[in-house]
C-alpha cells in the first residue's frame, strides 16, 4: 500500500485582520491592503468603470439624532470606506431644526436642544473649511459614532485623533457669523426638498 503526502502551502498572513473570512478581504481598501490582495480586489471584485458618472448622495441629518448616528455608523461610514470613489457625498446638518431672524441674525431651535445646534454648526463649518470629503467625512463619522458628551468634547477628541490642523478655525466659524450664514443655507436647502423631508435621516 502506498501513502501520499499532499502539502498545501499557504502564504503567511502577517495581519490579524486577515484571519477573517477571505470573502471579507475586499470589504475595504484598508483591509485589502493589509491582506495583500488590493490588486485582486480591484480587478475581480470592485472593477469600477472609471468613465461612469459618480452617484450623488445627499444625506440630511441632525448631529444628535439617534437614527442619524445609527445610519452613519452601520451603513454610510462602512459603504463610504469601501466605495467612496464612485460617490459625490453631501451631508447637510440641519434636519428638523427651525430658524427665525432676529435683527439680521439667524436663531436656530433644534429638535434635541442647543447642544445639537452646536453640533450641527461644528459639522457644517468642518465641511465648509476642510472642503475635501476625504477629510471631513472621517471627522463627521467620528463625531457621530462617539459616545463622548457633550458633543463639543467629542468633536475636540475627534479633531485630535484625526490630527485636524484647522480645528480652531472650525470652532471660530461655529460661534461666529460665518457659521450662522452657513446654517441658514442648510435651512434653505433642507426646506427646499421636494418632496419635503418627513424625518431624519433623509
Q: Which whole-number Å values give the CA distances from 19 to 12, 25, 46, in the listed order?
A: 10, 9, 21
Q: What percent of the chain has pLDDT over 70?
A: 90
Lowest mean pLDDT among 43-47, 59-63, 132-136, 184-188: 43-47
Contact between 93 and 123 under an 8 Å Cβ cutoff? The reply is yes
Return mean pLDDT, the chain. 89
Q: 14 falls in which pLDDT band (50, 70, 90)?
A: very low
Instruction: Give the DSSP letter of residue 149.
Output: S
Q: Which whole-number Å values give the CA distances from 28 to 38, 73, 98, 134, 152, in the listed order?
A: 9, 15, 38, 15, 30
The pLDDT score that the predictor gives to residue 188 is 98
Give the chain's length.
202
What residue has cell string 439667524?
A: 106
Summarize pLDDT for 99-114 with one digit per residue, the tens.
Answer: 999 988 999 999 999 9
Q: What percent of the chain has pLDDT over 90?
A: 71
The pLDDT score that the predictor gives to residue 34 is 85
CA torsion sign, 160 to 163 to 164 to 165? positive
For 175, phi then psi, to 5°, come to: -110, 10
Beta bridge partners of 57: 89
Q: 138 falls in which pLDDT band (50, 70, 90)?
A: very high
Q: Report the alpha-carbon distance of residue 36 to residue 25 in Å, rounded.
A: 9
The pLDDT score that the predictor gives to residue 6 is 42
CA torsion sign, 18 to 81 to 72 to 117? positive
Cis peptide before 82 (omega within 30 of 0): no
Q: Calculate mean pLDDT across residues 33-62.
A: 85
Of the candidates 164, 139, 168, the residue with the CA atom closest to the CA atom of residue 154? 139
Residue 93's SS3 state is: strand
The pLDDT score that the predictor gives to residue 130 is 97
Give the pTM.
0.77
Amino acid at each position: 500500500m502506498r501513502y501520499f503526502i499532499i502539502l498545501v502551502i499557504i502564504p503567511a498572513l502577517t495581519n490579524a485582520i486577515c484571519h477573517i473570512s477571505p470573502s471579507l478581504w475586499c470589504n475595504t481598501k484598508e483591509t485589502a491592503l493589509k491582506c495583500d490582495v488590493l490588486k485582486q480586489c480591484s480587478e475581480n471584485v470592485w472593477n469600477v468603470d472609471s468613465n461612469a458618472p459618480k452617484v450623488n448622495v445627499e444625506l440630511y441629518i441632525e448631529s444628535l439624532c439617534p437614527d442619524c448616528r445609527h445610519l452613519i455608523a452601520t451603513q454610510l461610514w462602512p459603504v463610504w470606506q469601501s466605495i467612496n470613489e464612485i460617490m459625490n457625498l453631501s451631508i447637510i446638518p440641519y434636519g428638523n431644526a427651525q430658524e427665525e431672524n432676529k435683527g439680521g441674525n439667524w436663531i436656530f431651535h433644534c429638535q434635541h436642544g442647543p447642544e445639537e445646534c452646536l453640533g450641527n454648526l461644528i459639522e457644517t463649518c468642518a465641511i465648509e473649511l476642510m472642503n475635501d470629503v476625504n477629510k471631513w467625512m472621517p471627522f463627521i463619522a467620528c463625531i457621530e459614532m462617539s459616545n463622548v458628551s457633550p458633543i463639543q468634547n467629542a468633536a475636540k477628541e475627534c479633531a485630535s485623533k484625526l490630527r485636524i490642523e484647522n480645528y480652531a478655525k472650525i470652532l471660530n466659524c461655529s460661534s461666529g457669523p460665518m457659521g450662522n450664514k452657513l446654517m441658514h443655507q442648510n435651512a434653505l436647502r433642507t426646506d427646499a426638498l421636494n418632496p419635503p423631508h418627513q424625518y431624519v435621516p433623509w
